[in-house]
Amino acid sequence: MKKNCLVLFLLSCGIYQASAQVVQSPDGHISLNFQVNDKGEMLYQVDVNKKAFIAPSELGLTGKNGVNLSDKFRVKEYKYDSVNENWTMPWGENKQHNNHYNEMAVYLSNPEGTELVTRFRIFDDGIGFRYEYQVPGVDSLFVMDEQTAFNFAADAVSWSIPASFDTYELEYRKLKLSEVENANTPLTLRTDKGIYASIHEAQLVDYPEMTLVAHGPHGFKANLAPWPDGVKARYAGGTFQTPWRTVQIADKAVGLINSSLILNLNEPCKLETTYWIKPMKYVGVWWGMHLGIQTWKMDERHGATTENAKKYIDFAARNQIQGVVFEGWNEGWESWGTQQRFDFTKPYQDFDMKEITDYAREKNIQIIGHHETGGNIYNYERQLEHAYEWTAEWGIHSVKTGYAGGYPDGHSHHGQFAVRHYRKVVETAARYQTTLDVHEPIKETGIRRTYPNLMTQEGAKGMEWNAWSAGNTPSHEIVLPFTRLLSGPMDYTPGTFDILFENTRDLPTRQKWNDQDKGNSRVNTTLAKQIANWVILYSPLQMASDLIENYEGHPAFQFFRDYDADCDWSEALQGEPGEYIAVVRKAKQNYFLGVSTNEEPRTLTIPLTFLEAGKTYEATIYADGEDADWKNNPTSYRITNKRVTSTDVLTVQMAPGGGQAVTFKPRN
């Protein structure tokens, strides 16, 4: 890392204008200008390749009770810094990251005594900025609004979900910026000039999530999830800082995926040791409940029984799978639909915890615990410390949490109250060396760098929607890598092989349990695309979602046996949002390629330059059959083998709604 004072930095690098109001990216192609107008209001603007990208846009917050957080500011000082460092994650799409930025910290004050540092960091792949406030002499401080705006200089095409303070499980829309009334982040866009960008936030700690509301002809203003009384954020004392507001910028869509900007804007790891944090593949008792052939509560159709648990453990042990999750193992599911009161240390009588944990230990299989809260945060926090201590005593060091249900006392899922709760769970789990898979989460903002035991989250429409609704469209899984997954890993739970539910639809044990079930539910892809999604939809805890009976003896399941969730390096090779995507990942000496398309058939040519030069690899290709089609013939597939080197080019032919997955293993 290098740090330079202003004079030395100007002389040696020459990247700042003499006005001391402009900061540029290390390569100079992104520049940000900061100014204070005659009302003492802060504004910023961004140029890309010397052309306007974000027009002058407002900055600041609105306080309460006479606390001025927004105007009458004057600049006291500018401070500059430059950082170029490498750091390592214990797991991730990539384990090695480069953090290279130029920083401008603007020190301001106003007559009311408010001290503010507005800190900008400019990377080659985008920008981040945040507010750091000090208000002296106050016992408490209330944020009522945020003025932060993103006024784009021209209209653009965008991909986003509608803004919601309670769910991210919504349909993605492709709209012009000028047509978007509100949105959650990440919101991804493409300008007519071919610039791609994504608005999001990083290091969301003790602050409500930011959504976007239309502002101007093709811009947005921040809109924060409120407390029940309308306050957006509250603090004891007058010192606080906001999350980073981020805009990733790239000249190709895949450049957004390959960016480390969100992680770079988070604090380094706070854990003393990370050896216990391990990526893994898993299966589990859960899909049968979504299909309606099993139940979460204990009855004659109960899924999480001792017998079923041992069956899944045996399957995992036979198939190079490290973990098994059991949903519906604990008392409380019978209260679903009321104010749920789950007991996180009391198994149902037909789930013998000792027998199951002993059996899993004997088979060297990790159990993933399950804590469904039903949204009853108070009940969960009362049990939190004891539940994680109890779970760890049984040798269970991975937990899937869930928050499907309304929060108490009018709280939203995404307000400051919830953000504080999620952080408390992460820190509690870390004390017991427990990793987390969080469903119905607060959005991912890179906290996994600071607490790498937060391994994966849901946060979008996942696989379960296919079990009891019209399901996710073929393009949905092509939009996700360019939107939701820009923020971090997703537990999408891909890999269903019984695509038309032929093996379960007519079972006498099947019962409708969800009002969205119209009898036409299915998976809207080909089988080959389901395999490709194990690579494309990144999660360090990667699930094979189907009933294990549908994998037994299936030749295509060999891909999951071979797949290694503990990857070292990844790169998105080609893609356009909602159209197609190609991603490669390396784990130890092997490479795994996933390619998929939307409703259109597509052929891509992919140079294999990512392979190590001078080596020959055995490529096993899992492709759509010649007659495959996601609507009419989704399970047609082919498995072929060929020898390749880094000088070869792979031709990938995909059916409508299809895909292709390839393993590359070096020959001895």
Alpha carbon distance 407, 373 (integer Å): 10
Tell me how far apart the alpha carbons of residues 375 and 372 are, in angstroms, rounded to a whole number. Answer: 8
Q: In terms of Cα–Cα distance, which of 642, 574, 643, 646 is closest to 610?
A: 646
Closest CA to 102 of 65, 77, 127: 127
Q: What amino acid is encoded at 75 in this protein?
A: V
Handedness of CA 549, 550, 553, 556 (dihedral sign): negative
Of 84, 79, 61, 56, the residue nearest 71 (C-alpha):
61
Cα 172 versus chain centre, distance: 15
Q: What is the Cα Rg of the chain in Å?
A: 25
Helix H or strand E encompassing 14? none
DSSP state of 338: S
As a whole number of angstroms, the distance between CA 9 and CA 372 comes to 53
The single residue of 464, 477, 502, 612 carrying the catalytic annotation is 464
Q: Taking every pair of C-alpha atoms in the chain, what is the biggest distance, in angstroms? A: 79
- Retrieve residue 613's tokens: 């030069």
Query: Would you call 77 a catalytic residue per the annotation?
Result: no
Helix axes 306-318, 353-362, angle to 10 degrees: 10
Identify the helix (H) or strand (E) that includes residue 257: helix 253-257
Q: What is the 3-state secondary structure (H, E, C) of 440-483?
A: CCCCCCCHHHCCCCEEEECCCCCCCHHHHCCCCCCCHHHHHHHC
Q: CB-based contacts of 295: which residues, under 8 Å, 6+ apart?
A: 289, 301, 302, 303, 328, 333
Catalytic residues: 464
